Amino acid sequence: MATKSERLQQLVQLYQEAGEKWPATMREVAQWAIRVGKWAPHPSAIVSQCAEELSRALRDEYVRDEQGRRVRTKHAATYTQGSEQFVLWDDLRTASPEHMKLAFQQRRQQILGDCKQLKNDVDSYNENRAPVVPVQVVFDFTYDLEEAELSRRKVA
């Protein structure tokens, strides 16, 4: 049995095979899938969609701290209880140190995962497409962070 992700990937394949415009936005693919009856929301998807939209909104909530830094106020951490996993959100200004430590560790792991995938993608592109000038990506963010800090100080 195909996973949800695999079924959605197959849906994009059907879109392409139908001769629709490609490359395409996922909005265009979704409109086509709904129009031709290949996709419809499950009732539970409505709750999931609302939860995802709420999460997205919380990720976009920022304040200025006492030093003038723009900081995200709401932070998510994934917890496990028995065999059940769930995500709790808390506010940077009131959350326990344990919640914030877990949230920060998990975000760092997400960033590392993104970097590992980017490295795989770049390495594959360079090795299989053999561009005249290979794409190079630097994964040391020290100077980027220092530069961002300096520009923040100049603005303050």
Residue extents of the structural domains in the chain: 60-155
Average pLDDT over residues 100-122: 98
Rounded to an integer, what distance in angstroms lies between the CA atom of residue 128 and that of residue 132? 12
As a whole number, mean pLDDT of residues 134-150 equals 95
Please state, in angstroms and rounded to a whole number, the distance separating the CA atoms of residues 107 and 76: 9
Tokens describing residue 109: 């792991």
| Overall average pLDDT of the 77-91 stretch | 96
For the residues 43-63, what does the mean pLDDT come to?
93
**Interacting residues of 109 by C-beta distance below 8 A, sequence separation 6+:** none
Residue 43's pLDDT band (cuts 50, 70, 90): confident
Cα dist from 87 to 93, 126, 133, whole Å: 18, 38, 43
Helix (H, G, I), strand (E, B) or coil at 87: strand
Residues 6+ apart with CB under 8 A from 94: none
Q: What is the pLDDT of residue 151?
A: 83
- Does residue 3 carry a pLDDT above 80? yes
| pLDDT > 70 in the chain, percent | 99
Report the DSSP beta bridge partners of residue 86. 79
User: pLDDT tens-digit profile of 27-39?
Assistant: 999 999 999 999 9
pLDDT exceeds 80 at position 23? yes
* Parallel, antiparallel or unpaired: strands 74-81 and 84-91: antiparallel
Q: Would you place residue 45 in the very low, low, confident or very high pLDDT band (cuts 50, 70, 90)? A: confident
* Distance (Å, whole) CA 53 – CA 47: 10
Amino acid (1-letter code) at residue 56: R
How far is the first Cα of the chain from the last one, in angstroms, to the nearest whole number?
Answer: 56
Contact 99, 117 (CB under 8 A): no
Q: What is the band of 52 on the pLDDT scale with cuts at 50, 70, 90?
A: very high
Rg (CA), the chain: 21
pLDDT at 152: 76
- What pLDDT score does 30 carry? 96
